[in-house]
Structure formats: C-alpha cells, structure tokens
Chains A and B, each alone.
Chain A
Amino acid sequence: MYRDIDENIRVFENMFTDCGDLVKRKIPVSSTYIYVLYFDGMADRAVVENRVLDTFMLEIRKTPPNNFKDLTTALINGGLTTADFREEAGFENAAVAVMSGETLLIIDGFDKAIIISTKNYPVREVGKPDTEGSIEGPKEAFTENFRDQTALIRRRIRDTNLKIKQLKAGRRSQTDIALIYLEDVCRPEILQEALRRIESIDIDAILDSGYLSQLINENVTSFFPLMQLTERPDKAAAEILEGRIVIAVDTSPFVIILPAVLPSFYQTGEDYYQNWQAASLIRIIRYIASVLALTLPALYVCLALYNPSMLPAELLLKMSFAREGVPISGIAEIYLMELAFEALREAGIRMPSSIGSTLGIVGGIIIGQAAVDAGIVSPIVVIVVSLTGICSFAIPQIALGSAYRLSKYFLLTAASFFGFLGFWAALITLLIHISSLKSFGIPYLYPFAGGDIEGDEGMRDTFFRFPIRFMKKRPIFSTDKQKIRMKSE
C-alpha cells in the first residue's frame, strides 16, 4: 500500500467500481485524513460507526497519529475499542477482508491498512438438525455461519490440543475453510494429506461443503462416499475425539468428517446416548435394511423370473396368481415401479412439507392401489419396491443411501439379463470395488476387512454397539500413542 491516502483510495475505488452496497468515506480528522470502507449488510454498521469511528475520531483528535511510531500503537492509543483487528499491507488481501464483512481503515501517511473485524452478515440461528434428527441427545445443528461451526465444536472439546487450522479456497469465493482436529490424537499423515488436497484446489468458488468433499475425493469414479457429512456438532465432536478431522466450510451447514469407513455411515449420535442393547438392535436393523435396499428387487427378479424352483411352492403359487393378467413382463414391471418410486421421492423432497406428505399418500397408497386394481402391476412388486424404498430410508447417511440406490440398479440390470449368475457377478464386482476403496489411506471396509491390528476394538462399534465402558480404545484413525480413551477401572 501507499503512504498517500489518495493513491490508496484510487486503487480501492477502481477495484470496487459499480458496487452499490459499498460504504466508503474519506473523513478529515484533526490534521489528517482517514478512509473507511465496508460493505453494507456484511459489516455491522453500528459497530463501525459507534464503537470504531466514534471513539477513534474523538481520541485521535487529541493525539494526531503521526506522533506515533507505528500504526498499531496509533490505533491502540487512538481509542479503538476492539481487540480483533490487524494490519494489512496488500491490496488484494485487504479487498478480500472487506468482501468478508470486515471494515477497512486507512490513515493518511501509513502504508498499511487496518482491518477491523465487524462481520455481521445475515445468518440463521442455531436450530434443530433437519436430516439427522434424534429423540435423545443434543438438538443443536450447525448453521451456515463459519464461526458458529467452530464455536459449537470448541464448546464441546475444551482441550488446548483442539486445533482449528484456517484456510481459504476458491479464487472468487475466497471461502473460509477450517480443519478441526485434536493435535495429539489425529494421525499426522492424514492431516497432511487433507491439507495437501485442499491447498491444491484451484477453482473459482466453493459454495458448500459438498463442493469441497467432491474436490478432495480421491476416487471420483466411485459413487460410494469416502467422507461423511454431518450437521450435528455433537457427532462432529465425537469424531474428532476418535482422531478424525472435521472440515468446516463457511456458508455450509454441513461439516465434512474424514476419513470415513463404511460402518461409520451406520452410526448416529443417538446410538451413544441410549443403552447399548437398544442401540445394537437399531444397528442390526440398519445393516439388514441396507442389504435389502441393495438386493431385494434383483433377488425378486432372480427368484420369480429365473429360478422360481428355489421358492417354496405356496409362495410361488401366490406370486403366479398375483401376476395373472399383468400385461407387462416382470422386469418391466419392477423397473416401472422403481421409476415411479424415484419420481415420488424426488417430488416429495421439492414440495413444501405440508404438500409433501399428501403427495406421499396419493402416490404411495392411492396410485399404487389403483395400479394393482387395474392389473398394471402385481401386488408383490408393489411390496418389493415399497420395502426397498423404506429400507433405503433406514440408512442414516443420505450419501450411502444414494450409493446403494445406484448399486441396486446395477444389480437389478445384471439380474434382469442373467438371473442369479448376473446377480452374483454384479454383486462380486460391487464388493471388489468396495474392497479396493480407501479413505485417506484407511481401508473403507475397516474393521470388517483391512483392520487386522493387534488389540483393535473397531468391531465393538459395528453391528453391535458395545457398552461404552468396553470401548476403551480409539479406532484406527488415532495415533498409536493415543489409542486408549478410557482408563481401566
């Protein structure tokens, strides 16, 4: 920056041409000039005018700034009543700060600007989680506000080892990103890799954590999620305590958790707030539901159309009667119903919640019943598709549910062409794919596969959720020195 205030003003005015929401003013103060710059709506006008300019101008009149050795001393002695300010010498960084809601203050004769933290842009209040609701446990959810995200975690882990490493990404969006982790628990190689991937991003804008999770994903061809998203601060804190890294992204209410392994997508915060028996039952149901969501339509095709002899005779007879008079083939029938279900699901998400439930009833019950009565589809197919749909909703994480939905069509198509052989070929291909996946070096199937570590207790938090007093060790994500999380009694 220049020492001449007019030079600086010219640069900033060139940068911010045609910005109607920009507030800028050159103010004579005592024997000198100051220049103030901020965006209306992004910065807190009351703070800028009453608590910064007012006190500053009053005080500085008494002691002209050129009597001070440096700018910081000038400000501190000049009555700046905030602790959160810094010096900035570069135009670019100063401009980014202004665009982030901070206030720029330039004093004539100094070659540095003062950036005063006055961020106050419109944000939501901390509310309840929309996608990860629970009966027991905390009801807080992250908001789009970056500082709320970090604060909600910091509030839960009051440990000096909790580190919040801040970065910016996106050439135009200059989005704030924070890697939140426990320094002594998190594996350094995973942290380095996460940092490397974020720093290598060169994109114009990151508007949500979904952008970032895709950009740092190591396997773009896989539709299985290799990172978790959560809107629950309690879950994020729990994962940090296990040695994982949480990435908060400004403007996104979801934080990223990495690394992620398949069983972690079946875990919810509530699992740990209720007794272990109830939590284990729910876990087992989730696993069974996911297997059904993945395989049921394909198995129906295999059993009903290719190898009916494997079914009990009574069931086979019932199915044959039910299909009597249906004008389309069994395969076309199941595809048609799956398509209808997908359309219904999509429409239900986009509709306002009051209409959405009506749509579900009309679509699911009335149209389904009408289709069966009209003889277009058989009741067994309606049951298969509905059960598949319900099971897919039992998977706690949407991303994994979507992966299973896509995989379901892969299995269904293979089964439609080649029956059981196609089903097994597709299933084994899928299993090979999942087996080959790694999230930041951690095998995706840990602890079912690839977790052959002496004394590892990863299996204690999979199908069954062991009593908390039996889960004394942290899982694979933590450093070896910090494996023990609960001391023996």
Chain B
Amino acid sequence: MYSDNGKISARQMQILLILDILGISIIVLPKYNAAALGFDGILLPLGGGIMGLICLYFICRLAPFLGTFGLFDGLTKLTGSFISRLICLGLVFKLIFSLSCGIRIFSEAAKLKFLPNTPMWIISGLIILPCLYGAFKGYEARARLGELLVFIILIPFLIVFIPRLLDGGFPSFMPNINIGKDIYFKGSLTNCFAFTGLEFLLLTFNHLNNLSGIGKKLSFAFIFTLILIFLVNFITISILGDNLTASLDFPTVDIMDISSVSKGKGGIMMSIFYLSVVIYEIGAIYLGSGLLGDILGKRKSIYMYLAAFGGYIISLGFDDVNAVMSFLVKINTVFGIAYFFVLPIIMNVLLKLKKDDVYV
C-alpha cells in the first residue's frame, strides 16, 4: 500500500524536532535563564543554540548508520551487546524522566490556570492518557499529528505572543552584558540540554524514508526553533524583569495575562504548551518502549504501558514545580552530556574505526 510503511518524511522529522524542543523549553528556560544570569539570561539561548548545533552535527553524521541499523543494533555492532544494552537502558531512563517532568510541569500549570481544585493525579492522568493512545498509534501517526499541530501551535503563537513586542516596549530591559565566561558556558550548556528533542534523533533515523540532506534540513528546523525560543526568552525577561521571571512558576504563561494586548490569553499559551508537550510525551513513550523492547529482545505493547505508567508515577513524586524544574536541569545535564555530546562523538569515532566490519 502507498504509505503503509511506518516511515516518515524529512519534513515531518523537521516539524517533530521543532515541536519536541519547543514545548518544555519555552516554559522552563526563561525562568532558569533569569535565575542564572539575570537580565543577561536573554543571551543564554544563543550559547545553548550554538552548542545544540554542534550536537546536531555529530548526531546527523550518524544518520546513515542509525538509519540502517537503529540505535540498539548499531551500538551492538560498535560496542558489543552488554555496553549497548547499558547505554540504551540509560536512554530509556532519560526518556521516562523527561516524560515525568513534562507531565508534572504541565500538570502544575494546568492546575494553576484551569483546575485549581482538581487533584494532581487526575490532571496528570488526563495528560498521559492521550499520549499513551498516541504512542499506540505509532510513529507515522505522530508525525502526521505533528504536521497538523505545528499550525495550531505556531499560528496562535505568532498572533498572540509576538505582538507583545509592540505592546508598551520593554520596561525591564536592562542587560549588563557583563557575564563570566564559565557561568555563560554552564548556562548555555543547560539551555542546550533542555532541547529535549535532540535525543529522539538517535532513535528516529530508521523511521525516515529518505536520509539525503537530512543534516541540513534538521539544522534549519533547529535554528528556526532557536529563534522562537530566543524571542520568548527575550520578551519574557525584558518585560517582567529578571527577579519576577525567576520567581514566577510559569512566567511565559503569566506574561500573557498581564499584557494589555493579550489580557486573559494565558490559556492560549497553555494550549500551545499542552500540544507541544503531548507531541513530546508521545515520542518519549513510543521510543522509550521501543528501545526497551530492543533491550529485552521483543517489542510488546506492555512496554508502552510500563513507560507511560512509570512516567506518571514518577511525576506524582515531586513536591512542587520548583522541585521538578531543578530535577529536570539535573537529569538534562547528566544525560545531556552523555547522549548529546559523548555518545554521538564516540559513535562517530568508533564508526570510523570499524566501518568495514560494521557494514559487512
């Protein structure tokens, strides 16, 4: 049949990358950046973006290899079965932790804005159930959903959030441009690791129907996302100021409610946030369970329930949104260094050394 192959196109992969990165980043980063560098936090996404592009370069160099073998089998060829299982298991944990943080952060925001009296477990359940359903529908359906949602997300984003640029200037815009190199480096690194869609790339090249020029296409998508994140970060910190941005739980959502242009439109920001988070969570459940299946030797639907339920339970364990965010920064740093930088570089090196053996 025409499209009965579970494969996605390069355009769909670009869109998924944008959505995967956007969801958590626009909520978490302004708060983190304001807390880390004050007004100068507006510059951190740029540093993070440059680092992200470096990661993307190394990941994309693996595209033909991963597109042929997939991560688990590819790693097994390069490092042997035991190390491959260990690395993949780590990635499964990373995905489930990210999933749980995403659920909890959005649940906190939804509780604050929409359902103040509803218990957290119900709100989180409402978020995870559609994601589980989406994961069951497969990666092709996720890609098509992404194509649909990108308009639903970006159009309101451009209509509602960007006009804030013209709404009364930026009363709190006071950058010092006086940043210590190591602080800027550390902050940029944290920004880079918050681009949570990058790790999906390691697992999705074998879903792609055409690998030609994929590096360029993904770089374009990444830069586009970076511009959006930079704008959100810039607008939020410049208008609210560094102290307020750092102290509010969801400054990006709140900025909509205090603007005269978009008064009362925090719900729109929440909706954008929700759709983007759902896309990410579907990917995390689908790819996490798939990888778990690879490690355990057989793909079973029970792994999807396990991944979703695991993420759900972990999400309920946090005290508040600040606890989730600090946990997210920690796991992003630990797993980010491992899976964004170290693993792609090592795999590239090993591939070069073992190229002849691998492709036999």
Which residues of A pack against B, CB within 8 Å?
Answer: 187, 189-190, 193, 306-307, 309-311, 418-422, 424-425, 428-429, 431-433, 435-436, 438, 440-443, 445, 448-450, 452, 476
Contacts and interface: CB of A to CB of B under 8 A. Distances in A.
B9 interface: yes
Interface stretch (B68-76, B130-138, B163-171, B244-252): B130-138
Contact of B267 (A193, A310, A445): A310
B354 interface: no
The 4 A-B pairs of least Cβ separation, nearest first, read A441-B1, A449-B147, A436-B141, A452-B9
A432 B141 contact: yes
A425 B148 CA distance: 16
21 contacts: A307-B267, A311-B264, A418-B122, A420-B270, A421-B114, A424-B275, A425-B126, A425-B130, A428-B134, A429-B133, A432-B145, A436-B137, A436-B141, A441-B3, A443-B144, A445-B144, A448-B147, A449-B12, A449-B143, A449-B145, A450-B140
Contacts of A476: 2
Nearest to B275: A428
Given A190-B2, A432-B133, A441-B1, A420 B145 contact: no
Interface of B: 1-4, 9-12, 110, 113-115, 118, 122-123, 126-127, 129-130, 133-134, 137-138, 140-149, 264-265, 267, 270-271, 274-275, 278, 282
Given A310-B264, A310-B267, A425-B130, A438 B278 contact: no
B110 A421 contact: yes
B130 A432 contact: yes
A419 B148 contact: no
B3 to A, nearest CB: 6
A190 B275 CA distance: 34
A431 B2 contact: no
Contacts of A440: 1-2
A171 B237 CA distance: 73
A432 B4 contact: no
A431 B145 contact: yes
Contacts of B122: 418
Contacts of B10: 452
A445 B147 contact: yes
Contacts of B142: 435
Nearest to A309: B264
Given A432-B130, A436-B137, 8 more contacts: A189-B1, A307-B267, A310-B265, A419-B115, A420-B267, A445-B148, A448-B148, A449-B147
A425 B3 CA distance: 28
Contacts of B146: 449
B150 to A, nearest CB: 9
- The interface centre, meaning the residue of A425, A429, A442 with most chain B CB atoms within 10 A of its CB, is A425
Contacts of A307: 113-114, 267
Contact of A435 (B123, B126, B141, B271): B141
B4 A418 contact: no
B109 to A, nearest CB: 10
Contact of A419 (B114, B129, B144): B114
A424 B129 CA distance: 12
Given A435-B148, A441-B4, A428 B137 contact: no
- The interface centre, meaning the residue of A306, A443, A450 with most chain B CB atoms within 10 A of its CB, is A450
B3 A436 contact: no
Contacts of B143: 449-450
Nearest to A432: B134
Contacts of B148: 431, 435, 445, 448-449
B13 to A, nearest CB: 10
A425 to B, nearest CB: 5
B38 to A, nearest CB: 32
Given A419-B114, A422-B126, A435 B144 contact: yes
Contacts of A189: 1-2
A443 B122 CA distance: 33
Nearest to A429: B130
Nearest to B267: A310
A432 B115 CA distance: 24
Contacts of A306: 114-115
Contact of A418 (B115, B147, B149): B115
- The interface centre, meaning the residue of A307, A429, A436, A440 with most chain B CB atoms within 10 A of its CB, is A436
- The interface centre, meaning the residue of B12, B148, B149 with most chain A CB atoms within 10 A of its CB, is B148
Contacts of A435: 137, 141-142, 144-145, 148
- The interface centre, meaning the residue of B130, B138, B142, B146 with most chain A CB atoms within 10 A of its CB, is B130
B88 to A, nearest CB: 26
B136 to A, nearest CB: 9
Given A310-B265, A436-B138, A449-B145, A428 B3 contact: no
A438 to B, nearest CB: 7
A432 B114 contact: no
A189 to B, nearest CB: 6
A448 B143 CA distance: 12
A144 to B, nearest CB: 33
- The interface centre, meaning the residue of A307, A422, A448, A476 with most chain B CB atoms within 10 A of its CB, is A307
A374 to B, nearest CB: 33
Nearest to A441: B1
B137 A187 contact: no
Given A193-B1, A436-B137, A449 B144 contact: yes
Nearest to B257: A309
Nearest to B265: A310
A189 B1 CA distance: 6
A441 B2 contact: yes
A360 B164 CA distance: 47
A425 B275 CA distance: 9
Contacts of B138: 436
A429 B275 CA distance: 11
A321 to B, nearest CB: 20
A319 to B, nearest CB: 15
A309 B127 CA distance: 23
A441 B3 CA distance: 5
